[in-house]
Chain A
Amino acid sequence: MTFQQDFFGTHFFYAIRLAGALLIVTLVPLLIDRRFRR
């Protein structure tokens, strides 16, 4: 088992990936809205 194989199958990896996706879908509209209201 390499480090990659160990890491990419872990719950930690999936949780980080899901959190990252949620952060992106939160930040994109938020930053655009901030720009509109400046």
Chain B
Amino acid sequence: MYIGHVGAALTAMRVRRSIGLLVLLLATYAPDWVDTGLCLANVYNPQGMLSHSIPAVLVFMVIGFTAYAAATRDWTGGLVIAALILSHLFLDWITGYKPTWPGGPMIGLRLYSHPIADFFVEGAVIAAGTLLYARTLPPSRRPWVDVSIMLGALLALQLTIDIAHMVMTSLPKC
């Protein structure tokens, strides 16, 4: 999943308003940031065993929970961060094709191969997250404008990615 992960972060903001959006966005994309580091170090695994497998994500969850809880003394917030990191795995199983554990099967619905379906599924996650996030905003005379700006920007990003998938035959991550 691409921008759908932002939808998960916006949902988490509704769950625990004290957590900053930057922290939530870093947590929701944690496995992809790990992929960036692996790519830079020239040890990237195309299947994502070190970044998107169940054991890898469990390690990131423990690190995320410990780091956030230790820094803020907010244990519930740490659990939200861990759950958000876990959500990356579940959302990627909808759209991608990811490893389970070393020697285990690859699983996923591979919606990336169907960009239009991917856009609607990710759009639904983005829309749900944005609507929940809207409840965290300060009172506004035109709240629907705020929701529309956030929703429109995120859907535009998602559309750009899906069009790129339709136009390009191959879009390697690393």
- Bound Cα distance A23, B36 (Å): 11
Chain A count of residues within 8 A CB distance of the other chain: 17
Chain B residues in 8 Å Cβ range of A3? none
Known: A14-B173, A18-B36, A22-B36. A29 touches B25 (CB 8 A): yes
Report the separation of the CA atoms of residues A37 and B138 in the bound assembly, to the nearest whole angstrom.
7
Assuming the contacts A14-B39, A36-B146, asked whether A25 and B173 have C-beta atoms less than 8 A apart, the reply is: no
Query: Which chain B residue lies CB-closest to A37?
Result: B138
How far is it, in angstroms, between the C-alpha of A24 and the C-alpha of B156 when the chains are bound? 12
From B6, B10, B42, contact of A25 by CB (8 A): B6
In the assembled complex, A33 has its CB within 8 A of some CB on chain B: yes
A28 B40 Cβ-Cβ under 8 A? no
Question: Within 8 Å CB of B173, what residues of A?
Answer: 14, 18
What A residues does B172 contact at CB under 8 A? 14
Query: What residues on B are CB-neighbors of A18 within 8 Å?
Result: 32, 35-36, 39, 173-174
Is A15 a contact partner of B39 (Cβ separation < 8 A)?
yes
Given known A26-B22, A29-B10, A29-B150, contact A36–B138 (CB-CB < 8 A): yes
Q: CB within 8 Å of A: which residues of B?
A: 2-3, 5-6, 9-10, 21-22, 25-26, 29, 32-33, 35-37, 39-40, 42, 44, 137-138, 140, 146, 149-150, 153-154, 157, 172-174
Report A's interface with B, CB cutoff 8 A: 11-12, 14-15, 18-19, 22, 24-26, 28-30, 32-33, 36-37
**In the complex, given contacts A26-B25, A30-B21, A30-B22, what are 15 additional A-B residue pairs having Cβ atoms less than 8 angstroms apart?**
A11-B39, A11-B44, A18-B36, A22-B33, A22-B36, A24-B157, A25-B5, A25-B29, A26-B29, A28-B153, A28-B154, A29-B21, A29-B154, A32-B149, A32-B153
